[in-house]
Amino acid sequence: MSQYKINPLYDLKDLKLPKLWGRPMKVLAHLLNSSYANPVVKRQLLKDGGIESLREVQLDQAPVMMPKPDSRTDITPSDARDSITQFCARMNEEQNGTSGFYHSFRDFAVDYRTGKSSPTTVANRLIETLKAQKETINAITNFDEQDILHQARESEKRLREGTPRSPLEGVPVSVKDEVDATPYPTSVGTQVYGKDGPAQEDATVVARMRAAGCIIIGKANMHEIGIGVNGYNPHFGVCRNPYHLQHATGGSSSGSAAAVAAGIGPLSLGADGGGSIRIPAALCGQVGLKATWSRISEHGAAPLCWSVAHLGPIGANVDDVAMAYLTMAGPDPKDSWSLDQPELNMIGYGNSDLSGFKTGIYHPWFEHATPDIVDACRTAVGHLIEHGATEQEIFIDKLEAQRVAHAVTISSEMLTAVEREYLKTPMKFATTTRIGLGFASAFRSTDYVKAQRVRAFAIEEFNRVFKEVDVIITPTTAVTAPGINNKSLPQGESDLASMTQLMRFVTATNLTGFPSITLPVGYDEKGLPVGLQITGRAWEEHILLRMAKVIEGHINKKKPTVLYDILR
């Protein structure tokens, strides 16, 4: 960690917990799940994990069970719609992508329009790539050759007839395996779910991408039930980072980030309950957006963690993520929480003049990362200042209580979600999953209610800060991609200390529901990517995308070790 300034009000700490694999990890899983285990052991483990910071905090707030923000906005519906029309027109006018060696959706559109390629040509190259990637990064765990070819032929027919569905026509998109997509089962990364056959219908986000002409190419690897952030999976195999095959992808949307980083389509659909879009996107050098809670329908996603869950896109550049966001977001009758929201807008996108925008930095938090990360993120903030934004120091209270409140919330909701299957066949779940669920079973009912009171406090605290600044900027993770412990395979390892480093900056916005985006801003001394996170007010994704676009223009991206070309 860098030598961040000691601040008595900053309370996040580095957890000192051992890394376990093999037999010691199995023993810990047994202790946490056995009714005969010494309760003193469980109490000590919870204490080591920081539970006392939650139990001892004194608050006046009543619990907030769902972080639904006020939907009022100063932007008129006509201005919002006009901004999207202008955005789409600009995307059609610009002929090439912005990621160099990565192909954007516009590269596919140009090659299809000029006859340099076609959806069926791409599909055939893609199928060969999907076979090959199993021996390298293992990002896509389930694909159907005939279904891919059928979608490609239908897309090619629309292009030939001059009736493309959208600028995303014929663009390959993968889907995290906790989101329903026909004709695939939804395994949620387990050997328990999905055994009753393929999904009966697409999730809303998948249906909207398919309606835009995208080719759904298969299901992406993930950390089992999304309960971890390193990308180990004993059932489908570890997912490896395209920048360094002996390093982790992060998770839990491990395959989604790795697929995009390796060129297996410009976009993937991920899910984020505790940084699970942003962490792997950052570790794999990609852009990932977690929108405002309920901005994007959850219909068709595995119901794992209702109050902190967000679906969203991972892409190779900001333009692609923006286009995917506009395609999948908005009200959905099948998700009642999504109905009350302001219209989508892209006001100001592409305007690099950031005069008048205030960026907020809580320095002890920002600097609580490795020096390589802090330096790269500090340089990225400088690019915003160069474009007219100003920097303002801020303070955010009770971050440690917020961290623990999120941990209690997500793990308790996950235990509730899988409880029936878990009680029937606990040994079918990964050892690391059993450790996470074992911790959840040790929480008190009062812990969960207290966590929701902390949520209420955190929402008020972030809203207070957003009266002073427009965005809050931090690194995305406190460390770059950890090495893969090959001795621990296939079960993987339990490394709660590393997990908290990877999650340090991301969980607050899962708890509060505010939107956040990550984008690559540099590399460490090993050449592993560094991510920067920008967080904004509810419903202001357009500002996050605008700022990310400005920073992206200053970043020189490096090629990953594993990079496929399915277009040219």
- Mapping DSSP onto H, E and C, the string for 130-167 reads HHHHHHCCCCEEECCHHHHHHHHHHHHHHHHCCCCCCC
Q: Which pLDDT value is given to residue 40? A: 76
pLDDT > 70 in the chain, percent: 97
In a domain, 203, yes or no: yes
3-state secondary structure of 474: strand
Handedness of CA 228, 410, 517, 313 (dihedral sign): positive
In a domain, 62, yes or no: no
Q: Is the pTM of this model over 0.85?
A: yes
**Average pLDDT of the residues in 485-495:** 95
Looking at residue 559, its amino acid is: K
Active site residues per annotation:
176, 252, 276
Look-up: residue for tokens 């027919």? 157
CA distance 306 to 66: 8
Q: Are 520 and 526 in contact (CB under 8 A)?
A: no
Going by C-alpha positions, the residue among 280, 331, 271, 321 that lies closest to residue 171 is 321
pLDDT of residue 8 exceeding 70, the answer is no
Residue 38: which pLDDT band, with cuts at 50, 70 and 90? low
Q: How are strands ordered across the β-sheet holding 529-536?
A: 140-142, 215-220, 172-176, 267-272, 310-315, 287-290, 516-523, 529-536, 471-475, 358-361, 390-393
Q: Which pLDDT value is given to residue 127? A: 99
In a domain, 402, yes or no: no
Instruction: Quote the tokens at residue 412.
Output: 């308790």
How many domains in the chain? 1
Whether omega for the bond prior to residue 119 falls within 30 degrees of 0, making it cis, is no
Residue 180: which pLDDT band, with cuts at 50, 70 and 90? very high
In a domain, 103, yes or no: yes
Q: Are 180 and 186 in contact (CB under 8 A)?
A: yes
Residue 1: which pLDDT band, with cuts at 50, 70 and 90? low
Residue 15: which pLDDT band, with cuts at 50, 70 and 90? confident
Q: Are 376 and 530 in contact (CB under 8 A)?
A: yes
CA distance 70 to 466: 14
3-state secondary structure of 47: helix
Lowest mean pLDDT among 50-54, 153-157, 507-511: 50-54
Q: What CATH number corresponds to the domain at position 89?
A: 3.90.1300.10
Could you read off the pLDDT of 240-290 as tens digits, one per residue? 999 999 999 999 999 999 999 999 999 999 999 999 999 999 999 999 999
In a domain, 430, yes or no: no
3-state secondary structure of 35: coil
pLDDT of residue 558 exceeding 90, the answer is yes
| Average pLDDT score over the chain | 96
Could you read off the pLDDT of 497-507 as tens digits, one per residue? 999 999 999 99
In a domain, 419, yes or no: no
Which H or E run includes 241? strand 240-241
Q: Which pLDDT value is given to residue 236? A: 98
Could you read off the pLDDT of 437-484 as tens digits, one per residue? 999 999 999 999 999 999 999 999 999 999 999 999 999 999 999 999
Give the 3-state secondary structure percentages of the chain, helix then strand then coil, rounded to 5: 40, 15, 45
Instruction: Quote the tokens at residue 417.
Output: 């979600």
**Average pLDDT of the residues in 108-125:** 97
Q: Which pLDDT value is given to residue 4? A: 46
In a domain, 35, yes or no: no
pLDDT of residue 99 exceeding 60, the answer is no
Could you read off the pLDDT of 373-403 as tens digits, one per residue? 999 999 999 999 999 999 999 999 999 999 9
DSSP code of residue 292: S
Residue span of the structural domain in which 144 resides: 83-396+458-551
pLDDT of residue 6 exceeding 60, the answer is no
Residue 3: which pLDDT band, with cuts at 50, 70 and 90? very low
